[in-house]
Chains A and B, each alone.
Chain A
Amino acid sequence: MTPQPDSFEHLLRELTPQVLGAVIRRFRDFSSAEDAVQEALVAAAMQWPREGVPDNPRAWLIQVASRRMTDYLRSEMARRRRETEAALEMDQLAPPPGSASDSDQDDTLILLFMCCHSALTSSSAIALTLRAVGGLTTNEIAIAFLVPEPTMAQRISRAKRSIKDSGVRFSLPTSQERAQRLGAVLHVLYLIFNEGYTSSAGPNLQRVELSHEAIRLARAVHRMLPDDAEVAGLLALMLLTDARRPARTGTDGELIPLTKQDRALWDQKQISEGTALLTKALSKGSIGAYQLQAAIAAVHDEAARAEDTDWPQILALYDLLKRMSDNPMVVLNHAIAAAMVHGPAAGLELLHGLDNDGRLAGHHRLDAVRAHLLEMAGDHQAAIAHYRIAASRTTSVPERNYLMTQAARLNESAGG
């Protein structure tokens, strides 16, 4: 029986970090090994559907990538004679690649730590993570970010050069470094997830679902570090947010706010998985920002109707989150929760505190939230003005359409 192309792709992506780890261990060169593994993946994607999946696909990929590495090193021979001999010797001496072992899990983690290194800009870290750990091709990543393939290829090769220049070794970070480095990894996965969320305008069959890719990678990290509550928290946050995806947009691609969504469309399976993960994580007692955000998403997801939302609980969670993070967006959302519990005046009062926060100066979200609270307070003229200011400042087309529609709706109901 010929497996579906989907399952090839899945298998290849799952194997990518393991194969890459094995090749790096053998040849000690992250950058070329990464190229060689990409070539092996391409070869597999062409051959396997025709000839069937080899008995040991992992060993097959390692063999092909190693052959590429050997070819590459041979062609470098004139310049780098001594290194080449050492590597070829190693190739002959190395035992044939066996089946998956414990070190595969470590390799995936090490690769993630490398790709999300602080020496990289976030766009480079995202691209490199998707390729080296996620097993996506450069073209797939380019399409996902709507940039030309050569641009993405340059971005990836620059990222690899930065890693080389930073001198980071292919090994697990020390226990002191670990928390900080893991934080960087989780942040990159979170960015990939949000990118998938924000760039999902319009159907594109060729596009890789970045949100699903982020969930897959977060699952892998959770499998490797099952006791880390923040890893579980991030995975739960992704699941609980992604569960609402089918209800987020209407038939013409227009945005539907949380309060107006058809909750029957929410993915209940994802919600219960996310909730279970979160409950377990919270019981471990080390509460972090991802767990709190997941908890807020869970409270929204639990409400069968928008009016059933437990706003006092959301407010309490934002209180905690506000103490933990200095993000002005958290303060904005806290103001909304306060308005839902204590009335719009309380929310508007909190927004005054944000007017002098330089990070939010001119940010459309401040105007959008203010417009929403002014509307709640019955001050429709002021609400219309702020919806329009927010519309002129947002960089998202669907959000601009939404904000302009809000202003138009209020204007028409007022003027008649």
Chain B
Amino acid sequence: MKYILMMTGTKADFDWYATWSKRDLQAQFAFMHSFNKELKESGVLVATEGLAFPNEAKMVRAAADGSPITDGVFPESKEFLAGYWIVDVETPEQAYQLAARVSAGPSPKDRGNQPIEVRRVMSGPPPEML
């Protein structure tokens, strides 16, 4: 079963991240590197990506003629996706375990552990239907 582990944050969280000390940053880079390596080697990694900071994020809607209208003014409370992992595991508990590892990853700690949203990735049709 596949799960997506999503790391999100508000603009304020990203701004705070940009001020981390060199030592904190290096600890975090090293953690991410070894965590990703471990996921690969244990045969569970499906995909992982990190996203650019939300400074340039745009909200796009189609106008009446179908052309894009972009809007970049977001409420302060909006959560932006920072990055994600998709893992293929045997049980939900395994996915929660991995999420907890990321949550407890190195950080300056003055804001507590980072919450990670875990969602099931949908699959194909079930074996039998009524």
Contacts and interface: CB of A to CB of B under 8 A. Distances in A.
Q: Do A and B come from the same complex? A: yes
A256 B128 CA distance: 10
A154 B43 contact: yes
A48 interface: no
Contacts of B101: none
Interface stretch (B26-34, B62-70, B116-124): B116-124
A44 interface: no
A134 to B, nearest CB: 18
A350 to B, nearest CB: 15
Contact of A154 (B42, B125, B130): B42
A155 B123 CA distance: 20
Q: Which 3 A-B pairs have the closest CB atoms?
A: A155-B43, A201-B124, A154-B43
Given A145-B88, A154-B41, A400 B125 contact: no
B59 interface: no
B88 A151 contact: yes
Interface of B: 1-2, 40-47, 88, 90, 120-130
A148 B2 CA distance: 13
A378 interface: no
B43 A257 contact: no
13 contacts: A123-B88, A150-B40, A151-B44, A151-B88, A154-B41, A156-B43, A199-B124, A200-B125, A201-B124, A241-B127, A257-B130, A395-B1, A395-B121
Given A147-B88, A368-B130, A200 B124 contact: yes
A151 B43 contact: yes
A118 B114 CA distance: 37
Contact of A402 (B2, B88, B127, B129): B129
Contacts of A396: 122-126
A65 interface: no
B89 to A, nearest CB: 9
A199 B43 contact: no
Contacts of A259: 130
Nearest to B122: A397
Given A147-B46, A151-B40, A154-B40, A258 B128 contact: yes
A154 B88 CA distance: 13
B129 A257 contact: yes
Contacts of B45: 148, 151
Contacts of A257: 129-130
A255 B120 contact: no
A342 interface: no
Contacts of A397: 122-124
Given A150-B40, A151-B44, A368-B130, A123 B90 contact: yes
Interface string A118-152: 00011110000000000000000000011110111
Contacts of A124: 43
Nearest to A333: B128
A20 to B, nearest CB: 21
A399 B40 contact: no
A198 B90 contact: no
B40 to A, nearest CB: 6
Given A122-B90, A123-B90, A154-B43, A194 B127 contact: yes
B129 A255 contact: yes
B105 to A, nearest CB: 22
B43 A152 contact: yes
Nearest to B86: A147
A198 B40 contact: no
B124 A258 contact: no
A117 interface: no
A197 interface: yes
Given A151-B88, A154-B41, A372-B130, A255 B47 contact: no
B35 to A, nearest CB: 15
Interface in A345-399: 368-369, 372, 394-399
A395 B122 contact: yes
A158 B90 CA distance: 15
Nearest to A155: B43
A300 to B, nearest CB: 10
A151 B47 CA distance: 10
Interface in A181-217: 194, 197-201
B88 A258 contact: no
A201 B125 contact: yes
Contacts of A122: 90
